[in-house]
Amino acid sequence: MDYGNEFGKQLGNRNDYVALTKVEAQSYNEANISIIKFLTNQQKIPGVYVTLNKPYMTVKEELKKQGVNQDLIIFIDAISQTTGGKLEKTDDCLFIGSPENLSDISLSMDQAVMAIPSEQKFIFFDSLNTLLMYNSPATVAKFIHFLSGKMRIWKVKGIIVSLQKESNKELIDELTQFCDLTVEFGGKP
């Protein structure tokens, strides 16, 4: 499945939006790369990739292998320090201490969005499930409510990724009200 084009179809004519994207675990990596490729290569939109799951260098290498235009991406890495990874200062990545530190994540996204001179831009937030490992469901719900409001103020295309899991159903149902649409890839609707 071409997740990027399917994502584009489901967006329709929306310009600025907050999309909750639910992905099956086995399709997770492919869907993320495909959506990023759709935004950067096809639509030529610069943006911010917030990674809570994999270190910046791993994500960057995966995107490079798939031919994604990384010149258009500023990364925010909230996992490398937690896992003991190397944090080398770089022009295209802001490092955060932990996925637990929501205020630092928010401040970094604000800085990164403001650093992009383009009128059109995106924020790709990967992933809700990792936030839930470090924060309570109530805290995550408040943060996503806050984040969706910020995305609207910034006038960006917001993509929030979540794995499709029965255990998150109540939280996902709550978060759906903060988003303009829910895009589902595989599994049960």
pLDDT of res. 169: 80
> What phi and psi, each to the nearest 5 degrees, are found at residue 174?
-65, -45
Q: Report how far apart, in Å, the C-alpha atoms of 38 and of each of 8, 18, 77, 145, 183 are.
A: 8, 16, 21, 26, 15
Contacts of 121 (CB under 8 A, 6+ apart): 45, 46, 47, 48, 113, 154, 156, 157
**Within the chain, which residues score under 70 in pLDDT?**
85-86, 166-167, 187-189
pLDDT of res. 86: 67
Domain ranges, ordered by start, for the chain? 3-185
pLDDT of res. 166: 64
CATH annotation of 3-185:
3.40.50.300
The pLDDT tens digits of the residues spanning 41-88 come to: 999 999 999 999 999 999 999 999 999 999 999 999 999 877 776 677
